[in-house]
Amino acid sequence: MRFSIWPGGHRSWDDLLSLAQHAEATGWDGVYLADHFMPDTGPDGPTADGPNLECWSALAGLAAATQRVRLGTLVSSVTYRHPAVLAKIAAAIDNISAGRLLLGVGAGWQQNEHTAYGLELGSVKERLDRFEEAVQVLLGLSREPRTTFTGEYFTVTDAPNQPAPVQQPLPLLIGGSGEKRTMRIAARFADEWNAWTTPELMAQKQAVLARHCDDLGRDRHEITVSTQALLYLSTDESWLAKYRDRDPGRPRIIGTPAEVVDIVAAYRDVGVDELILPDFTMSSAALARDVYDLFMTEVAPHFA
């Protein structure tokens, strides 16, 4: 089982670089970044102030400043990343990193950034129709010498992508838990599928993914599965008690190291290949390092 970190976009570049290099030095497998332009304020929320490093620029910096960890996006929205341009960006970063990029993409969801930047989000159907086209453009440009594709949203004609990615094929992650369309697109095209889940929810989603694979004639085991949950890990029982009965609105992992071992084992037992741990519950980069170190020393060895 692999373990990776997910620093928040609000971190300064110095803190982000420090966390990524510390993760590499202490045995973590990957570093992921979200691709957003501002904090989320809900579907009807206003433009939000607050620092948010541009994802792909930061990834390029990390690609040059690390040597081993996999680097990925959770995820890039095709609503503001034209797939041909994104394919060029991804190929460049795969070259900079000597073949360590995981290209994570999604259909888009955060309304306030689309409104503020004048980007069309569209209905759920429009987003998924656009997304399915974009995935095909991305696969073509990252894996073929030339790509021609004509769709309702995207058209490319005899398009090259040189230099090509170092990895052949460049792995594609599709993020999202929608069972009818998103997971079917993942079953058809993805090398890795990702969603926020609990172990119980992951078991249900795995069955859905398997059904889509069966319908499409694809071996389910060709697709790696990753998930993430908010982490509340401590040896301080009084601190944990403040959070045990709170609902953070996302799947979470909470407890002492021994409790967290049991939760991680439950994820492993329902087929999770990689667990990604955001630092969103950690107020500072220093605290994030401490919590990540506790996980790496007291939890991860049980899954070596």
Single-letter code of the amino acid located at 2: R
Average pLDDT on 281-294 reads 97
Q: Identify the CA nearest to 30 among candidates 64, 77, 78, 66.
A: 66
Please tell me the distance from the alpha carbon of residue 69 to that of residue 66, in angstroms, as a whole number: 7
Query: Percent of the chain having pLDDT more than 90?
Result: 97
The whole-number pLDDT of residue 45 equals 83
Helix ranges restricted to H, the chain? 13-25, 55-65, 83-96, 111-117, 124-143, 182-189, 199-216, 237-241, 257-269, 285-298
Q: What is the mean pLDDT of residues 111-134?
A: 96
Per-residue pLDDT at 3 exceeds 90: yes
Mean pLDDT over 174-182 rounds to 98
Task: Output b/e per residue, 104-140; b: 16+ Cβ within 10 A.
Answer: bbbbbbbebbbeeeeeebbeeebbbbbbbbbbbbbbb
Predicted local distance difference test score (pLDDT) of residue 42: 86
- Show the CA angle centred on residue 234, arms to residues 197 and 279, nearest 5°: 50
The structure's pTM equals 0.97
SS3 of residue 247 by DSSP: coil
Say if residue 167's pLDDT is above 90.
Answer: yes
Q: What is the pLDDT of residue 11?
A: 96
Domain boundaries, the chain: 2-303
Q: Which CATH class is domain 2-303?
A: alpha beta
pLDDT digit string, tens, across residues 217-237: 999 999 999 999 999 999 999
What is the C-alpha to C-alpha distance for residues 239 and 154, in angstroms, rounded to an integer?
51
